[in-house]
Structure 1
Amino acid sequence: MEWVLLVLLGMAASSLGSLIGLGGGIIVVPALLYLGTLHGFDHITPQVAVGTSLFTMIFTGLSSTLSYMKHKTVDYKSGLLFLIGSGPGSILGAWVTESLNLKSFNIFFGLFIILVSIILTLKNKLKPIPYRKDKGIVRTFTDNTGTTFEYGFNPIAGILISFVVGFLSGIFGVGGGSLMVPAMILIFFFPPHVAVATSMFMIFPSSVLSSITHVALGNVNWLYAFALIPGAWMGAKVGVYLNTRLKSKTIVILLRTILVIVGVRLIYQGFFG
């Protein structure tokens, strides 16, 4: 029964994560912490929840990237540039996680989840910051309807922002897409579908790097990880399918509501648990 729950968890988290570029860890980590309190499941520390989540996201990121490659929506050059920042950031974040106890982790992670829900609320209402073509990298993208988008960014700003995103990803095991997708859309003028696909492309190598650190620290529950991986692999493909065919507004509203509830619960546990 425990394995069935973990497979379904991996599928649900990965489907939502791939749909809007979050990576799925923002659902997996609190779910693992909760399951660790139930009879029949091993006790799970925040470090093990984060390490197991990040290891699982290697497969979410790979599966999503392979699917998005077929739709030609991944900006490889920008993604590799952002990795210059997010790679070291994710490794540093993984080490910082070791210093957090359960109560501190619950409070900080709860606040982070609520921040993500606020970002999801505002991202469709905010307009991208105009960019100057002579001040950085310029990209063009033509979607399936033949519409051409032009976007661009300052490479130094891109690396610095991705470092912060990678750092938070390494601490909380969330993949970084929850912050990187809005940043790419609002600051760097990315078309939404390209931002989501490029975010998933970045999640794969950054999860590998931070997972190596967590494996070295003994922060991966291998039984749970291998139960989550099949669901994560299949769920990622479902999320990509929905992303290319559906408007994700309803899903975002549902996810936003869930995040607020989970975030408040974690903060409460951190203070009073």
Structure 2
Amino acid sequence: MSFFFYTAVGLLSATFGSLVGLGGGVIIVPALVYLGPWFIGQHISVATAVGTSLAVLIFTAFSSTITFYKQKRVDFRSGWLYFITCGPGAMLGSYTTQFVNAQSFQLIFGLFMLVMASLLVARDYIKPLQVNWSIQRTFTDAQGKRHEYGYGIVPALAIGLIVGFISGLFGIGGGSLFVPAMVILFRYPAHVATATSMFVIFLSSIMGSVTHLSLGEIDGWMVLGLAPSALVGGWLGAKIAGKLSGKALLWVLRITFFAVAVKMIAESV
């Protein structure tokens, strides 16, 4: 039973996480906390679920980043810039997890996802910031349409720090904040935002996992159970993402965030 549980959770979380640029932690953490006692016969603490999820995200993000790289969708230049602060932020967030109790975690997690979902819905009614950022980039999609976007060094570093902290705290990878920020603030095409987000998640997950490991908050056997299917899921999600339109990708994000938010908030009250 545990084998099928790990395989299903790893594959589903990685496929979906890679598809929308989240990393998959929004599925792994709730699955381990709520379904762990049923399928593997043991209660899993929030800290262990978060630490284990972040460790598995290394495999998910690595697999999807390679696939996105072959599709030429990853903006490595901005990715490395985000990582300057995202990496240390992930370590700080990972350290903070031990001080948050389960009920508070669920409520904060749910509210955070609800805000992100609302932000993405509002995106259709809010024009992206028309700022003449200091760094300008272009991207031509598969249909030959040319997209222009840009970013500033200081705002990018600030976003990296915030996203890194949230990533380490919740074990979700941070794409839930990265992708909306890239799309709304910097006008990234959705596919480039998703791909670049997964690259940064790969790097920051390594640093965050080191902190969780030092605190004894990673279950090695669970990582081994989840990692193989997560590798496959990371590749599969990136492949599927390449066939979806930008609008379809954003709708997948919105529905996911709302569903997770309602579940987590309901469980905390």
Segments of 5+ residues of structure 2 without an aligned counterpart are none
Q: Secondary structure at the match of 1:245?
A: coil
Q: What is the aligned partner in structure 2 of residue 172 from structure 1?
A: 170
Q: CA separation in 2, counterparts of 1:45 and 1:11?
A: 22
Identity of aligned residues (%): 42
8 Å contact from structure 2 (residues 29, 50) kept in 1: yes
Matched to 1:157, the amino acid is: P
Map of 1:34-45 to 2, 5 A cutoff? Answer: 34-38=34-38, 40-45=40-45
Matched to 2:239, the amino acid is: Y
Q: Identify which range, 153-162 or 36-45, moves more after superposition.
A: 36-45
Q: What is the aligned partner in structure 2 of residue 131 from structure 1?
A: 131
Cα displacement (A) at 1:14: 1.1
Q: Identify which range, 144-153 or 9-18, moves more after superposition.
A: 144-153
Map of 1:165-204 to 2, 5 A cutoff? Answer: 165-204=163-202
Q: CA separation in 2, counterparts of 1:94 and 1:86?
A: 12
Q: Identify which range, 108-117 or 179-188, moves more after superposition.
A: 108-117
Cα displacement (A) at 1:160: 0.4
8 Å contact from structure 2 (residues 109, 170) kept in 1: yes
Q: Secondary structure at the match of 2:136?
A: strand
Map of 1:222-237 to 2, 5 A cutoff? Answer: 222-237=220-235
- After superposition, give the CA deviation of every residue in 1:114-167 in whole Å (9 maximum; x if it has no partner): 2233234334443321121xx411112222333322211111011001111111
The TM-score with structure 2 as length reference comes to 0.93
Q: CA separation in 2, counterparts of 1:266 and 1:190?
A: 29
8 Å contact from structure 1 (residues 90, 168) kept in 2: yes
Q: What is the aligned partner in structure 2 of residue 243 from structure 1?
A: 241
Does 1:119 pair with 2:119? yes
Q: Secondary structure at the match of 1:38?
A: helix
Cα displacement (A) at 1:257: 4.4
In structure 2, which of residues 257, 262, 265 is the aligned counterpart of residue 264 of structure 1? Answer: 262
CA RMSD of aligned residues (A): 1.9
Q: What is the aligned partner in structure 1 of residue 17 from structure 2?
A: 17
In structure 2, which of residues 137, 140, 161 is the aligned counterpart of residue 142 of structure 1? Answer: 140
Q: What is the aligned partner in structure 1 of residue 66 from structure 2?
A: 66
Map of 1:74-85 to 2, 5 A cutoff? Answer: 74-85=74-85
Q: CA separation in 1, counterparts of 2:154 and 2:249?
A: 33
8 Å contact from structure 1 (residues 169, 175) kept in 2: yes
Matched to 1:71, the amino acid is: Q
- After superposition, give the CA deviation of every residue in 1:26-80 in whole Å (9 maximum; x if it has no partner): 1111111112332643211110010000000001110011001111111001000
The number of residues matched between the two structures is 269
Q: CA separation in 2, counterparts of 1:39 and 1:67?
A: 32
Q: CA separation in 1, counterparts of 2:220 and 2:268?
A: 27
Segments of 5+ residues of structure 1 without an aligned counterpart are none
Residues 95 and 128 from structure 1, CA distance in 2 versus in 1: closer, same or farther, beyond 3 angstroms? same
Q: What is the aligned partner in structure 1 of residue 33 from structure 2?
A: 33
8 Å contact from structure 1 (residues 110, 264) kept in 2: yes
8 Å contact from structure 2 (residues 26, 260) kept in 1: no
Q: CA separation in 2, counterparts of 1:251 and 1:189?
A: 15
Residues 252 and 157 from structure 1, CA distance in 2 versus in 1: closer, same or farther, beyond 3 angstroms? closer
